[in-house]
Amino acid sequence: MKELIKQWHGESVVISFHQPTGTWIFIAIHSTVLGRAVGGCRMREYESPEDGLLDAMRLAEGMTYKWAAAGMEFGGGKSVLGVTGHLDYPNRADVLRRLGRLIDSLCGAYSTGEDLGTTPEDMAIVAEETQWVHGIHPGARAVDPGPYTALGVFVGIRAAVSHVFGSEDLTGRTVVIQGVGDVGEPLARRLLAAGAEVIVCDLDEGLARRVSSELDVEAVVPHLVYARMCDVFAPCAVGATLNGDTIPQLQCRIVAGAANNQLAEPRDADRLRARGILYAPDYVINAGGAIALPSLDSGMVTNEQVEERIQGIEPRLLEIFAEASRNDESPLYAAQRMAERILARKRGAQRPPRES
């Protein structure tokens, strides 16, 4: 773990171990240049604690770029709960309260919200220990960011289809959704309403069957999902699913989905481009939930205004695609430059003037 931290370019890492459950708790703060670090809490099993720490650091860095690309004044942070098997309610609640106390000890340097593996109800438990939780409104149910993320991915897919095919019309376009949980299912419903043909896949075969039956769409088994012919492949589950093994299998023109850190390594962006596949950078297209929760928490905007902000993902991606085409490069690099320009301007504004 010390070697991983030495190699990281972020600002700080908090590590805690919950002995009763064997859960590792990581809070990674990558950058506070734009403001307080904000990022969701992920809960999942990892092969080793080091894998959990690495995931937290990568996700925190992705949040820095996500906030910059979205034009939001927040920094990049993430929390990860590396569990060992299923936690029953008392133990799960204990872990979440420990996380809440850790977050509270940071005095506002980091705030969290729901992410993969956690729920709005989980965030309500964290909020018992700290005020630094997004999506918790007094007297109301915790806000679920999933449908907002799905909206952003939907308009992002529309932008990608427009760039590749010359029209944003989704009628007859086939979209394969890998992962039909909190984001994948509402995304599927939006795509179907827009006239697209949807194919679903999930490691949870029972969930895949349920969504397939309810929406009357085809389901494909996980080991065949990459080779399924489609217009758009939408990764909406865990990260690093696009790599040197899976990219050669793809039979699509576009990759556009909700998962964080979809590429196993940066050169996977070039692998996609070499195959003629347009890649919608994940931290741009999946920003809908991140945009929604702090906006709603402010109490200054309506749900309609939040959705209007999320719609801004579409023109932002069109701009990124256009720049990448002009430079004959992957959209990943155009998106990084856009975010880095915003961060550089903020750093410049924070420097004290030189004495004459």
Does 78 participate in catalysis according to the annotation? yes
**Is the distance from CB of 321 to CB of 254 less than 8 angstroms?**
no
Rg (CA), the chain: 20
The one catalytic residue in 2, 6, 66, 78 is 78
Q: What are phi and psi of 54, to 5 degrees?
A: -60, -40
Cβ burial of 20 (10 Å; 0-12, 13-18, 19+) is exposed
Give CA–CA dist 63/69, Å, rounded: 10
Nearest to 263 by CA among 201, 336, 319, 190: 336
Task: Count the alpha carbons within 13 Å of 344 in the hemisphere toward its beta carbon.
Answer: 6
Q: Distances from the Cα of 153 to the Cαs of 49, 183, 284, in angstroms?
A: 31, 9, 9
- Report the catalytic residues: 78
